[in-house]
Amino acid sequence: MESRSRSMHKLTAKICSFLFLFLAHAAHCFYLPGVAPEDFQKGDLLKVKVNKLTSIKTQLPYSYYSLPFCPPKKIVDSTENLGEVLRGDRIENSPYVFKMRDPQMCTVLCRITLDAKTAKQFKEKIDDEYRVNMILDNLPLVVPIRRSDQDSSTVYQLGYHVGLKGQYSGSKEDRYFIHNHLAFTVKYHRDPQTDSARIVGFQVKPYSIKHEYEGKWNEKSRLTTCDPHNKRTVVSSNTPQEVEAKKEIIFTYDVEYQESDVKWASRWDAYLLMNDDQIHWFSIVNSLMIVLFLSGMVAMIMLRTLYRDISRYNELETQEEAQEETGWKLVHGDVFRPPSNSDLLCVYVGTGVQFLGMVLVTMIFAVFGFLSPSNRGGLMTAMLLLWVFMGIFAGYASACLYKMFKGAEWKKLAFRTACMFPGIVFAIFFVLNAIIWGQKSSGAVPFGTMFALVLMWFGISVPLVFVGGYVGFKKPAIEDPVRTNKIPRQIPEQAWYMNPTFSILIGGILPFGAVFIELFFILTSIWLNQFYYIFGFLFLVFIILLITCAEITIVLCYFQLCSEDYLWWWRSYLTSGSSALYLFLYATFYFFTKLEITKLVSGLLYFGYMLIASYAFFVLTGTIGFYACFWFTRLIYSSVKID
């Protein structure tokens, strides 16, 4: 027996060591799709791709070749994921020819002559401060800008401006100048053993220069303003290239290669450098103070007041003594009476569970780095897919609640759960997409993608909601801890501060207060075209939001029941859900104070998308508040003896 036991231990040890080595190897070889490193030898061709033109003034992206830039012989679209298409990304090849560690000086790209139409197009894009976005080895093109307040600090702006507006000395008339010379810098990290290199940086300094040449233009013409043979390069925009009809523009570029100590795994660090981490910590501390305050109130209610109430109620001997008492016990016969529009409440609770599951799983993936900015479009794709597959939980949650309310038509409920929230969002999205389409923007979702979204909705999400609804309805109904009276009790006149509208609006302030600082950074990343990557902070704030919503709803629900008002079902949902109203008001404040949007179409897009975000926030926070109150009422009424 002893030898057999020893041999078993050896076998187990071998299996464990094998599994450890396998997992270690798998971890070593694991890279996210599309972000695996690529090694380049000297002279290897580098693929420079162009992306959309973006503007924080209009929020309408356009494809690169919507302007008459130099095109390649054949324009080829890159394969894009669902998230990239919805973001308006249009990644295409470019005529730029880069060879690894092979510097270039003043390479002529092409020469064009503007007509009235093309000149107008360039002027409009310069007016709206559009930027050109490019990609090299999955790294976005950035313009390094040294901060004036900190000598050693450099910030990076995504993309370079198409051009700029200015005035000639002695003139007050605005002129338009185009950035027609680009000085690229490609940073690489070299492996001394193999001499191969990995790209770790892609920067540009744009210049506007009126190129000159001798004689008539042909393919062999040499520029006098920028000549690699005489080592003459562009270092300033002192003689800028004006944008006017019938004027010619010569596009040129330089490529410089710089060896860097930054390793490939850390190449995004410079782009994501966080100079405001103190503000995020302040946000966390601010939110934690709110949570501690509410937790103290909940603890006081649960440990002191409720304990005293339950003890006193259980010691009452006669019915006369019970009738003399006031407070939350007196409404025990009505507190679990099904609310008005109970079907709609079930639908919204189910949708909230679906949304909560999607956000929670997305956050966990993001915290572990699966949804980093290098995985372009990954965040939106993940959220859409998770929403679709979380439909099964939506159906289950709504059906369980519906059966508790003695409902019978679960199929009708499942259909409403599957279609109400997505239907409203899709209707708003469709109108916004039509507006974008009217502006001929690349941000308009193509018909094929729209069809794919509808197919995901009705082909996957709706059936999963029905599956969840079937399982939930087949389960035994949740039993109330106390019996419900046949005749509803009359609710006494309430104090002004217990007015439903007032208490609901008050209840939304603290959950919003817990997140509004982080909300600023999220809005900035969305509307000012910046990276948002601090998902660790966001996850902490999200957990604090969950706790705050639950606690404020429990506190206000307790005060409501003590006032002998038993209509808590909808009020618990709306109390924490009202934080969405403050979110929308803050988004309005942000629009007028931080953004420079002046066009009506762009304003409609902003408020349309923020309306969708606020609606989703309402469903999420409302569901958290409802379940907190549901647990609280069942807990306290199951603790007292009811005659």
Q: 241 or 536: which carries more pLDDT confidence? A: 241
d(CA 308, CA 310): 6
Q: Is 51 left (phi over 0), alpha (psi -120 to 50) or beta?
A: beta
What does the block give as tokens for 1?
Answer: 């027996």
How many CB atoms neighbour CB 202 within 10 A? Answer: 23
Query: Mean pLDDT over residues 240-258, rounded?
Result: 88
Please, which pLDDT band fits residue 640 given cuts at 50, 70 and 90? low
134: which strand partners? 50
Residue 324 is predicted with a pLDDT of: 44
| Statement: residue 41 has pLDDT above 80 | yes
Helix (H, G, I), strand (E, B) or coil at 453: helix
Q: 299 or 562: which carries more pLDDT confidence? A: 562
Question: Of 116, 138, 108, which Cα lies nearest the Cα of 228?
Answer: 108
| Statement: residue 405 has pLDDT above 60 | yes
| Statement: residue 465 has pLDDT above 60 | yes
pLDDT single digits (tens) 77-133: 887 778 788 877 888 889 998 999 888 888 888 888 888 898 999 999 999 999 999
Q: Calculate the alpha carbon distances from 524 to 84, 590, 640 in Å.
A: 19, 9, 51
Residue 306 is predicted with a pLDDT of: 64
Query: Mean pLDDT over residues 608-619, rounded?
Result: 94
| Statement: residue 462 has pLDDT above 90 | yes
d(CA 191, CA 263): 10
Residue 6 is predicted with a pLDDT of: 44
Length of the chain, in residues? 643
Residue 568 is predicted with a pLDDT of: 85
Residue 307 is predicted with a pLDDT of: 67
Torsion angle of C-alpha atoms 67, 70, 76, 82, degrees rounded to 10: -40
Contact 234, 251 (CB under 8 A): no
Percent of the chain with pLDDT over 90: 28
Contact 511, 548 (CB under 8 A): yes
| Statement: residue 20 has pLDDT above 60 | no
Q: 643 or 153: which carries more pLDDT confidence? A: 153
What residue ranges do the domains of the chain occupy? 44-272, 337-480, 507-642
| Statement: residue 152 has pLDDT above 70 | no
Residue 16 is predicted with a pLDDT of: 38
pLDDT single digits (tens) 137-147: 888 998 888 77
Query: Mean pLDDT over residues 439-453, rounded?
Result: 87
What does the block give as tokens for 238?
Answer: 């002192």
pLDDT single digits (tens) 294-338: 777 777 766 666 666 666 666 654 554 544 445 667 777 778 888
Residue 218 is predicted with a pLDDT of: 75
Q: Which residues contact 64 (CB under 8 A, 6 or more apart)?
A: 50, 51, 52, 53, 90, 92, 94, 132, 133
Q: Which residues contact 42 (CB under 8 A, 6 or more apart)?
A: 100, 101, 102, 195, 197
First-to-last C-alpha distance (Å) of the chain: 64
d(CA 48, CA 61): 20
Q: 563 or 620: which carries more pLDDT confidence? A: 620
Q: Which residues of 218-238 are buried (b: 16+ CB within 10 A; e: fewer)?
A: eeeeebebbeeeeeebbeebe
DSSP strands (E only) in 100-247? 104-113, 131-136, 139-140, 142-146, 154-158, 160-161, 163-166, 175-178, 181-190, 197-207
Residue 637 is predicted with a pLDDT of: 79
Residue 4 is predicted with a pLDDT of: 40
Please, which pLDDT band fits residue 561 given cuts at 50, 70 and 90? confident
Specify the residue for token string 């109970």: 342
Residue 21 is predicted with a pLDDT of: 37
Q: Is 246 left (phi over 0), alpha (psi -120 to 50) or beta?
A: left
Strands 48-54 and 131-136: antiparallel
3-state secondary structure 106-128: EEEEEEEECCHHHHHHHHHHHHC
Helix (H, G, I), strand (E, B) or coil at 456: helix
pLDDT single digits (tens) 182-236: 999 999 998 888 888 999 999 999 998 888 887 787 777 778 777 776 666 776 7
| Statement: residue 588 has pLDDT above 60 | yes
Mean pLDDT score across all residues of the chain: 82
d(CA 139, CA 160): 14
**Most confidently modeled of 30-44, 164-178, 227-241, 616-630?**
616-630
